[in-house]
Chain A
Amino acid sequence: QKEVEQDPGPLSVPEGAIVSLNCTYSNSAFQYFMWYRQYSRKGPELLMYTYSSGNKEDGRFTAQVDKSSKYISLFIRDSQPSDSATYLCAMSDVGNQFYFGTGTSLTVIP
């Protein structure tokens, strides 16, 4: 079993839709959770960072962490064509070892 599981998609939604991206994990030691956005032929850029359980909101983006279910989510409200990218989840433990999901490819159709 992989440490981090992420549905690769592809996911295609109309402009303005709410997008839900998810990852599950198996290691209860993970404490730090991140979402990255990667445009084609670019390096991943950090979108959201969350410590432990709870929600974090930044503009149209909301990150949720449910440690009891070992499940994290990224919600994108009012999705825009510019949101079309691959979204990677990542998590780390206290030892600073990072684990990445495979990425979900998202296309927002105008």
Chain B
Amino acid sequence: GAVVSQHPSRVICKSGTSVKIECRSLDFQATTMFWYRQFPKQSLMLMATSNEGSKATYEQGVEKDKFLINHASLTLSTLTVTSAHPEDSSFYICSANQDRVSNFGAGTRLSVL
């Protein structure tokens, strides 16, 4: 099946720093990728849709300036959490669709101290 690689898997950072998370489609091209946030024992919450070559589409309530998304190529989307604070600590997951199936990355656990 299609593989989506997400890096890093774990980040611990100080409050006020920015953190970049990468999502790559390894064996297929993805014009659209999705970014989710997941709190413990809760479901996936769609944050934004990343579109190659154009602006991302953010879900209601998600701060665009806080969560910067760049989709510069057909295989790479990045999510940057700017000036991270403890309340941004969460599990972030990306996905990309191929052949009517949504393929997920392994997730990134962000802890902001």
Contacts and interface: CB of A to CB of B under 8 A. Distances in A.
Contacts of A90: 102
A97 to B, nearest CB: 10
B43 interface: yes
A102 interface: yes
Interface residues of B, number: 20
Interface stretch (A19-27, A44-52, A55-63, A75-83): A44-52
B106 interface: yes
Contact of A98 (B1, B102, B106): B102
B102 A45 contact: no
A51 B34 CA distance: 22
Q: Is the interface of B mostly helix, strand, loop or mixed?
A: strand
B100 A32 contact: yes
B97 A42 contact: no
A36 B43 CA distance: 12
The 6 closest A-B pairs by CB, nearest first: A102-B43, A43-B104, A43-B107, A43-B106, A32-B100, A44-B104
27 contacts: A32-B101, A34-B102, A36-B104, A41-B107, A42-B106, A43-B4, A43-B93, A43-B104, A43-B105, A43-B106, A43-B107, A44-B44, A44-B93, A44-B104, A45-B104, A46-B101, A46-B102, A46-B103, A49-B100, A88-B43, A90-B102, A92-B102, A96-B100, A100-B43, A100-B44, A101-B43, A103-B43
